Amino acid sequence: MACLRARGYLSGSSAASNPASGTGQGTVATSSLYLKIRVENPLKVSALKPGDQVAGKLLRNVYSGDHEVFPAGSRVQLTVDKLERLRRVPNDHWPWVIKFFTPRHQNSPTFQSGSVTLPSGTEIPLRVSLISIGREREIRAQAKSGKPSPDSGASSAEMSVAGPVPDEPAGKAGAIVTLEAAETSPEPQSAPALPSGPITLAAGTQARVILLGTVSASGSRPGDSFQARVLEPVHAGSQVVLPEGSLLEGKVVRRTPPRRLSRAGTLFVTFTGLSLPGGSSDQRIVASVASVEVDQRSHTKLDAEGELKGERPGKVWMLVNVGVTAGIAKEVDDGTQLLAEALISTATDASTAGTARIVSTCASGLFMLTRHGRDVVLPRFTEMDVVFDRPVSLLGQQAVPAAQ
């Protein structure tokens, strides 16, 4: 990801400043939108300059409450405002030695103005704030039989994010730009219409949500809570049951941090609470993760139970560590011989070679044994699909668990 930033809407507050951007501007929750755009032309983020134009199409419909604001495929035009130096987001792409030599900060563009052109030709101006730029893929849970879920579309249970934009040639996959946006002249919107009577949200119903906080195998603890926001209205027949903006309460059930011997971390989360816009309180639910959008280079998979696991080290990972191990062995071998010859006047290369070889072997072996595996990291603003494992009964402004 090129950068991660947010303002008031996604953090759940009605208005907030953005210290990371340095602008000090706030946003109003009721007029903010969440946009995901696929860039039309090849995009080199580091080459962008203030004033450059970035064009693309919406990957999916954009909603506010219970109504659609922009349809998928609408054209989006963005203008680079300035460049900022931001800290890189932690990832599980490479071993620690590569990260050690990788710059910890990078220049990233910021956007403040843009526009969306509807299919009718109407152009709507926007105030925008960048969340991320990168390439993503979607990982889905394997079926319990070991086969991929029916909608995964691949034996690896992976697919490119959201598929192609409508009317876009297959195979054309540009960078994904994720934004928070606010209409510059928004029309007054009514509150989302909640169910007027008892409606049961059936078990197996899926909802598209976005994380409002970072969760990871190394940084989170069992019992830690987090929130996710519903991005698209959930329907029961023709009626909206969960409008966009509903909040889910999540909890870390268990986690295993990355361990020695290159053993990867694991993370299992569940969702236990639901709060409708204008609802009086959080209600109990049971929901699990069905799919997650991750960075294209991430080595994370999702099993049938909804547990996220880091993959085993690949060839490149092992080759890098083996190369570092060989370098350590060589340096320790030479250093031990020089030290022995300096301390022992009668020492020679032949007499110290055996000792140096033993010391270098121990040092390189210790290095390999202490290598940790890949972490599992779900950064803030990660999109995922959650599935309700039990039915939930909704009644107007309140929601109560259905009788079991």
Q: Over its length of 404 residues, how does the chain's per-residue pLDDT go in tens digits?
A: 333 333 333 444 333 333 333 333 333 334 478 899 999 888 888 788 899 999 999 999 999 888 899 999 999 999 999 888 877 766 666 666 666 667 777 778 888 889 999 999 999 998 998 888 888 889 898 655 444 444 443 333 343 343 334 444 434 457 888 888 875 544 545 555 555 667 788 899 999 999 999 999 999 999 999 999 999 999 887 788 888 989 999 999 999 998 877 788 899 999 999 988 876 557 899 999 999 998 888 888 999 888 999 887 766 666 776 777 777 777 777 777 677 767 776 656 666 777 777 777 776 677 666 677 788 989 888 999 999 999 988 765 443 444 34
Nearest to 95 by CA among 291, 275, 242, 315: 315
Whether 330 maps to a domain, the answer reads: yes
| Burial degree of 88 (CB within 10 A; 0-12, 13-18, 19+) | middle
Backbone angles phi, psi at 330, to 5 degrees: -65, -45
Radius of gyration of the chain, Cα coordinates, nearest whole angstrom: 25
Those residues whose C-beta lies under 8 Å from the C-beta of residue 25, and which sit 6 or more positions away, are 7, 17, 18
Measured CA distances, 274 to 80, 164, 225, 234 (Å):
38, 32, 13, 13
As a dihedral over the C-alpha atoms of residue 404, residue 303, residue 4, residue 17, rounded to 10 degrees, the angle is 10
Q: For the residues of 23-79, what is the DSSP string, one character each?
A: S-----GGGEEEEEEEESS---GGG--TT-EEEEEESS-EEETTEEEE-TT-EEEEE
pLDDT of residue 281: 58
Domain coverage including residue 362: 315-369
| Burial degree of 83 (CB within 10 A; 0-12, 13-18, 19+) | middle
Measured CA distances, 375 to 90, 96, 102, 212, 293 (Å):
10, 11, 18, 20, 16
Those residues whose C-beta lies under 8 Å from the C-beta of residue 93, and which sit 6 or more positions away, are 295, 297, 298, 299
Q: pLDDT tens digits, residue range 64-92?
A: 888 899 999 999 999 999 888 877 766 66
Measured CA distances, 315 to 46, 95, 327, 336, 404 (Å):
29, 12, 18, 31, 49
**What pairs with residue 84 in β-bridges?**
108
Whether 289 maps to a domain, the answer reads: no
Whether 170 maps to a domain, the answer reads: no
Whether 136 maps to a domain, the answer reads: no
Whether 335 maps to a domain, the answer reads: yes
Measured CA distances, 257 to 30, 217, 220, 279 (Å):
38, 5, 9, 37
Whether 320 maps to a domain, the answer reads: yes
CA 119 to chain centre: 30
Whether 336 maps to a domain, the answer reads: yes
- Tokens representing 237? 């027949």
Decide: 131 and 178 in contact? Cβ < 8 Å.
Answer: yes
Q: What single letter denotes the amino acid at residue 14?
A: S
How many domains is the chain partitioned into structurally?
1
Whether 327 maps to a domain, the answer reads: yes
Nearest to 383 by CA among 255, 285, 294, 277: 294
Measured CA distances, 73 to 120, 162, 186, 313 (Å):
12, 12, 21, 38
Decide: 231 and 59 in contact? Cβ < 8 Å.
Answer: no
3-state helix, strand, coil in the chain (%, to 5): 15, 40, 45
pLDDT of residue 190: 55
Measured CA distances, 70 to 168, 219, 249 (Å):
17, 37, 27
Compute the distance between CA of residue 156 and CA of residue 170 in angstroms, rounded to an integer. 20
Q: What single letter denotes the amino acid at residue 344?
A: I
Compute the distance between CA of residue 231 and CA of residue 180 in angstroms, rounded to an integer. 12
Measured CA distances, 26 to 32, 129, 227 (Å):
11, 11, 21
Question: Nearest 5 degrees, angle CA 172-CA 177-CA 178?
Answer: 135
